[in-house]
Amino acid sequence: METTKSLEIIEAMMSESRKSLHRNSFYFLLWGILLVPAGIAEYLFRDMSFAWFVWPVVGVVGGIISMIYGNREAKRTGVQTSTDRITYFTWGAFLFGLAFSIVYAVSNNMMPHALILAFTAVATFISGGISKFQPFIWGGILIGIGAIICGFVLPGTYHPLVFSAAIFLGYVIPGLQLRKKEHE
């Protein structure tokens, strides 16, 4: 084998590995589809004592679907990159934050939205950084602003609506942009 051929092979394989990206837009759209209506439902049923119940339901449903999809996706691509691993750990940590926020807020008679949005902002911002996808970086910032509004500006009644708006703008829209990019 010629020496220049060796370099060509190495370069070609590096390029192949860069193509081995998982279709992560699914997770953003799935969680967006679950979380935006959950916020609106909580606002509409705010006078009913069971309104908070939408959150654990959404968490369990989203978690199960994400796991099934993740397994299928790993089989489809047959490869895992370091970006995938960092993404799994980031969103794994986010799930802990989500569960903690709900349990902590409910047991202390607090609204959980500011905390959930803060954790979502961090995970979305990191995802944007590691995947070098600018809309998620801006999405993370937008969701962070939503967390500040819930935490310090508006009364609790409006938190579910701010939550849904922040998730839609900072999560669903970048998710749709990523989906478009994945299908190009």
Partner 1 sequence: MLHQELRLSIMSFLANVEWANFKKLIEVTQASKGNLSVQITKLQGAGYIKVRKSFQNNYPLTECRITPKGREALEKYVSDIKKLLNI
Alpha-carbon gap, residue 92 to 115, rounded angstroms:
16
Phi/psi region, residue 117 (left: phi>0; alpha: psi -120 to 50; beta: rest), is alpha
Among 35, 73, 84, 178, binds partner 1 (CB under 8 A): 84
Among 47, 49, 50, 82, binds partner 1 (CB under 8 A): 82
Q: Does 132 bind partner 1 (CB under 8 A)?
A: no
| Termini Cα distance of the chain | 36
User: Is-contact 38 53, C-beta < 8 A?
Assistant: no
Q: Does 4 bind partner 1 (CB under 8 A)?
A: yes
Query: Which CB atom, from 3 or from 107, has the smaller least distance to partner 1?
Result: 3
The alpha carbon of 71 is separated from its chain's Cα centroid by a whole number of angstroms, namely 18
User: Is-contact 6 14, C-beta < 8 A?
Assistant: no
Residues 124-151: b if buried by 16+ CB within 10 A, e if exposed: bbbbbeebebebbbbbbebbbbbbebbe
CB of 88 to partner 1, least distance (A): 10
Among 47, 49, 50, 75, binds partner 1 (CB under 8 A): 75
Q: Please give the residues from 13 up to 72 whose contact with partner 1 meets the rule CB under 8 A.
A: 13-14, 16-18, 20
Q: Does 109 bind partner 1 (CB under 8 A)?
A: no
Query: Which CB atom, from 6 or from 134, has the smaller least distance to partner 1?
Result: 6
Q: Does 1 bind partner 1 (CB under 8 A)?
A: yes
Binding positions for partner 1, rule: CB under 8 A: 1, 3-7, 9-10, 12-14, 16-18, 20, 75, 77-82, 84-85
